Amino acid sequence: MTYQDLILALQRYWAERGCVLGQAYDVEVGAGTMAPATFLRALGPEPWNVAYVQPSRRPADGRFGENPNRLFQHHQFQVLLKPAPKNVQELYLGSLKALGIDPLEHDIRFVEDDWEAPTLGAWGLGWEVWCDGMEITQFTYFQQCGGFECRPVSAELTYGLERIAMYLQNVESIFDVTWVKGVSYGEVFHRNEVEMSEYAFRASDPPTLFALFDTYEKECVRLLALGLPIPAYEAALKCSHTFNLLDARGAISVTERAGFIKRVRDNARACAEAYLQTRARLGFPLVKTGWTVGEQPPPLEGARASASWASFAAEAPR
Amino acid sequence: MSEDLLLEIGTEELPAGAVEPALAQLAQGLGERLAEAHLAHGAITTYGTPRRLAVRAAAVAARSPDSVRQALGPSVKAAFGADGAPTKAAVKFAESQGVAVEALRRVETAKGSYLAVERSEPGQPASALLPPLLQALVHAVSFKKAMRWGDVEQTFARPVQWILALHGSEVMPVVFADVRSGRVTHGHRFLSPGPISLRTAGEYLAALERAHVIADVANRRERIRAGVESLAHAVGARVLADPSLLDQVTELVEWPAPVLGSFEARHLDLPNEVLVEEMRSHQRYFSVVDAQGRLVPHFVAVSGTPVHDPALSRRGYERVLRSRLSDGRFFFDQDRKVPLVDRVPALERVVWQGKLGSYAEKVARIRPLAVHLATAAGLGGLREQVDRAALLAKADLTTGMVGEFPELQGIMGREYARASGEPEAVARAIAGHYLPRGASDPVPDEDPGSLVGIADRLDTLAGLFALGKPPTASTDPFGLRRACLGVIRIILGRGYRLSLSAAIDAALGAGRAPAGIAAKLGLSEERAAAVRGELLEFFRGRLKALWADDARADVVDAVLAAGFDDLRSTRARLEAFAQVVGASDFAPLAIAFKRVANIVEKQGSDVAAARVDASVFQDPSEGALSEAAGRAAAEVRRALEAEDAPRALAAARALKGPVDAFFERVLVMTDDRRVRDNRVRLLREVAQVFAPLADMSRIQAEGGR
């Protein structure tokens, strides 16, 4: 299976189950979780089911294209299912079958993994999914996002595309993965890795980056004041990426680090709150679509968790 | 008819480590609730896998027995007047119970005869009692980390998928979150998909076994152990024993299928610990060793599914390990390019604890502290080694390998110290100073590591107590209890004669000791003294906990009350007491000396300090006791100096005869003030004989006050 066939198979599988096929978010992010289609949509009571490929930039992981397993930029196939269907594990295993990974031929296991993203005020519980000892997917039930409790809970599936492709194609280096017949991953992206690593570790200009950080931070605050959480969140993401660049460059000391993370988190949280307020003012419109993927049994005791947002709308003065 | 009761909570894959505690809660909770419901039952058994928590009570009665409920009224004495007529109390009680006075019965209690009403209560059927009981039981299970799922509010370690609740063949209705109980369970996720309906609770284990699930934890653990062992035998080797890994794997698979794999032999020149850690912590593979205990280039992975062609998964396991070992080799080669000592300055960038600064600062404090302790312990000859080991103790925190595997701290320090040409004793001390990591670990077997280990822990204890962050009843985020126990175990294990208070002072940097925590935090002398006091009390508490199994609590308390500055002699005194505390003459001895202690305590403040005046003696027993006390005091002192606690205790015990004779023949509280004061002074001398051994007033003995 070529790299792009892998993407196509996952897209087809999740599209057939009723997910919106999203496109990669065009602002630099470290993970698919940070794209608004996950971070913002996981908030509040509205249903949301999406699948998209997200190029994920991690400047500190850059290896100048010399390490067979690490990249400045890798690609995640990101699925967010909200509310998490009761049979989400079965749905996920179905997607592996669509890739030709049969659990009677491979040792597939769900191994405990707790996830936390301090810069997003987010955490969840779930697993890393192992295929013959190799982690191929992060599977997380979001519990909190932007400092808000997730009601309902979203299930996030993050497939590591390069790893899965290496495994399916039985190659030892990412750069040897066949992208499309006759063209390798290396031919598409190796030079990108070399230059981006050079940029991240040597060529970036810390004073410029520090100035950019401050600028994006202020821009985020300014846009929030204008009641525009979506562009404000874009600015917060820019901050986050700038911080990652500075970190890779070794420009941030240990003592300063926590302070920068807090600045990013504070803005991300403020964006989350503002986003919820605009959705509340709109009356959480997706709720009435009744859009679901998979099995969604109602609670047998107590109210629906999502019902708690009724009071949020009333309490949102801004 | 009594029938088995079975509750199974089916879940998505639980974290390893969550299963056992939850099963313990279910077993205990079920036992307690059945007892409360007065439902007779047989043995309670639990079963657990990553996907299920189950508890079974054998032979649960079909109904609770009829019972007689008694309401106790006034005593018979109060219930009838002199004329034999019922009093107001009796009438009121009968009214409150809705019966006639004549219907009240007399019952005998420990306090005498009482009036009572007895009503028989019919038993209830299990079918009425069990559902609410099981409902409450499911809701009472708690986890360290719990989560919500879907659109429900309830929490569990992972989402609940099904609940099976059967009493015999009858479904017990239970509801949890979005799940309703039934008679359905599920087998192995891949090998036996689909629901399995049970007719009775008794079919459970066999049905699961047919469906590729070994539900019994011990049985599964044993199968894994035997399975991995036999694969290792196949290559003429054995599996490196690792009980905690075995437990983890047991909680990761329902139907274990061990697979033998290999790695390239060239990686065997990596430190053993690196290889073992790469295999165990990331991959949960068992390491394989030869007859001499040396690693061989194999491993055993335990698959959760016996797949069609194990060669396929083996290739996967090997591939992941290969990439990890290449990473490990990369770190190992990179790390060794820098001499360990050159890494020390980089510790400035490694935060130890916010206000207490970096590891560089910690190292700067523990170097002189460890040297100070060496001198105090009579090991001044080791000063240079100890200083060097303290300097390098934390340097490996800046290496790539420890960054990747924090649990290898110390071990990598030792390896890199060797590679940097440091003396072997220094290299070993770097690894040793972290010992004991936990209760089952040994203490370091060499002095430099022991001394650096004590210094490191005292610095941690002093620092966090000075910051006002001692552990609370429920939380100990900095591991201070473990650190304190470590200090105690090292001092005792290595047999050091150290003054605990002086060592704490040195860590704080009080007195003439090198600058320590006090200087870092700018503590006043009063504050430093207060911290020292709190820390000593903390040590007292840890000693009590540590020695709880070795002697009676009151004896430990009494021995500690006589001081514990020198832990070695404190321990020797405790052992001496523990030897005699069971003897038949100990209780009378304790009573006699408690009596002495009580009199001294009560009267002591009124009697001015002065020597006993022999000329005031009126009875020969006074002179005899005085002489015996003087002799015993000298002997106790000599014996303790010679570290012979049993002899010291024997000398003190010898006073019993003269003390008894004294109390038999004279009255301390006589009217003659001069005589009385002199006798109190005499008893004070007697009490002081015991003072260095134990505070006898804390010993509990019948007849003591």
Structure tokens at B547: 């020695």
User: Of A153, A177, A201, which residue constitutes the final position of a domain?
Assistant: A201
Choose the closest CB to B151 out of A106, A112, A299: A299
Structure tokens at B67: 């019972």
Choose the closest CB to A299 out of B14, B177, B317: B177
Dihedral, CA of residue B186, residue B192, residue B196 and residue B198, to nearest 10:
-90
Topology adopted by domain B567-698: Isoleucyl-tRNA Synthetase; Domain 1 (1.10.730)
Give the residue from A157, A151, A150 showing the smallest Cα distance to A126.
Answer: A157
Question: How many angstroms separate the CA atoms of B174 and B165, rounded?
Answer: 7
| Same domain, residue pair A114 and A78 | yes
Q: Does B350 touch chain A (CB under 8 A)?
A: yes
The domain segmentation of chain B, as residue ranges, is 3-63+125-210, 67-121, 217-331, 340-546, 567-698
| Same domain, residue pair A35 and A172 | yes
Interface touch A103/B161, C-beta < 8 Å: no
Choose the closest CB to A114 out of B145, B149, B152: B145
Pairing of strands A108-117, B67-75: unpaired
pLDDT computed for residue B514 by the predictor: 63
Q: Which residues of chain B have pLDDT under 50?
A: 703-705
Interface touch A105/B312, C-beta < 8 Å: yes
User: What residue in B sits closest to A68 (Cα-Cα)?
Assistant: B323
Question: How many angstroms separate the CA atoms of A251 and A206, rounded?
Answer: 7
Choose the closest CB to A106 out of B153, B189, B316: B316
Contacts of A107 in chain B (CB under 8 A): 257, 259, 301, 303-305, 307, 313, 316
For residue A272, the domain's CATH number is 1.20.58.180
Question: How many angstroms separate the CA atoms of B645 and B668, rounded?
Answer: 31
Q: Does B398 touch chain A (CB under 8 A)?
A: no
| Same domain, residue pair A176 and A105 | yes
Contacts of A302 in chain B (CB under 8 A): 152-154
Q: Does B316 touch chain A (CB under 8 A)?
A: yes
Q: What is the number of other CB atoms lying within 10 angstroms of the CB of residue B120?
A: 8
Residues in Cβ contact with A232 at an 8 Å cutoff, skipping those fewer than 6 apart: A219, A220, A221, A223, A224, A267, A270, A271, A274
Query: Total domain count for chain A?
Result: 2
Q: Does B557 touch chain A (CB under 8 A)?
A: no
Selected residues 235-264 of chain B with any CB under 8 Å from a CB in chain A: 252-253, 257, 259
Choose the closest CB to A153 out of B14, B149, B305: B149
pLDDT computed for residue B379 by the predictor: 95
- Helices in B377-524 by DSSP H: which ranges? 383-392, 400-404, 411-419, 424-432, 447-466, 480-494, 500-508, 517-521
Residue A275 lies in a domain: yes
Residue A273 lies in a domain: yes
| Same domain, residue pair A224 and A186 | no
Q: Does B190 touch chain A (CB under 8 A)?
A: yes
| Same domain, residue pair A156 and A275 | no
For residue A123, the domain's CATH number is 3.30.930.10
| Same domain, residue pair A182 and A234 | no
Give the residue from B242, B298, B243 showing the smallest Cα distance to B265.
Answer: B298
Q: Does B149 touch chain A (CB under 8 A)?
A: yes
Residue A306 lies in a domain: no
- Helices in B642-690 by DSSP H: which ranges? 645-653, 656-665, 673-690
Residue A10 lies in a domain: yes
Choose the closest CB to B178 out of A109, A151, A297: A297
Please provide the distance, in angstroms rounded to a whole number, between the alpha carbons at the two ends of chain B. 56
| Same domain, residue pair A90 and A189 | yes
Q: Which residues of chain A have pLDDT under 50?
A: 317-318
| Same domain, residue pair A189 and A277 | no
How far A26 CA lies from chain B's nearest CA (Å)? 30
pLDDT tens track for B510-521: 655 567 888 888
| Same domain, residue pair A104 and A190 | yes
The CATH number given to B340-546 is 1.10.3210
User: Of A201, A234, A264, which residue constitutes the final position of a domain?
Assistant: A201
Boundaries of domain holding A258: 204-281
pLDDT computed for residue B570 by the predictor: 96
How far B102 CA lies from chain A's nearest CA (Å)? 51
Q: What is the number of other CB atoms lying within 10 angstroms of the CB of residue B702?
A: 8
User: Of A179, A201, A223, which residue constitutes the final position of a domain?
Assistant: A201
pLDDT computed for residue B503 by the predictor: 95
How far B152 CA lies from chain A's nearest CA (Å)? 5
Interface touch B313/A68, C-beta < 8 Å: no
Q: Does B97 touch chain A (CB under 8 A)?
A: no
pLDDT computed for residue B511 by the predictor: 56
pLDDT computed for residue B82 by the predictor: 81
Residue A52 lies in a domain: yes
Structure tokens at B72: 């106790």
pLDDT computed for residue B704 by the predictor: 37
Contacts within 8 Å (CB) and 24+ apart, B205-210: B205/B47
Interface touch B308/A105, C-beta < 8 Å: yes
pLDDT computed for residue B703 by the predictor: 45
Contacts of B190 in chain A (CB under 8 A): 103-104, 108
Work out the burial of residue A107: count CB atoms within 10 Å of its CB; fewer than 13 is exposed, 13-18 middle, 19 or more buried.
buried
How far A135 CA lies from chain B's nearest CA (Å)? 9
Backbone angles phi, psi at B72, to 5 degrees: -90, 135
Interface touch A103/B179, C-beta < 8 Å: no
Question: How many angstroms separate the CA atoms of B274 and B207, rounded?
Answer: 42
| Same domain, residue pair A139 and A216 | no
Structure tokens at B601: 């305590």
pLDDT computed for residue A313 by the predictor: 65
pLDDT computed for residue B118 by the predictor: 87
Residues in Cβ contact with B435 at an 8 Å cutoff, skipping those fewer than 6 apart: B441, B442, B443, B444, B449, B453
User: What residue in A sits closest to B194 (Cα-Cα)?
Assistant: A90
| Same domain, residue pair A149 and A130 | yes
User: What residue in B sits closest to A93 (Cα-Cα)?
Assistant: B190
How far B387 CA lies from chain A's nearest CA (Å)? 27
| Same domain, residue pair A15 and A160 | yes
Residue A309 lies in a domain: no
Angle among Cα A292, A294, A296 to the nearest 5 degrees reads: 70
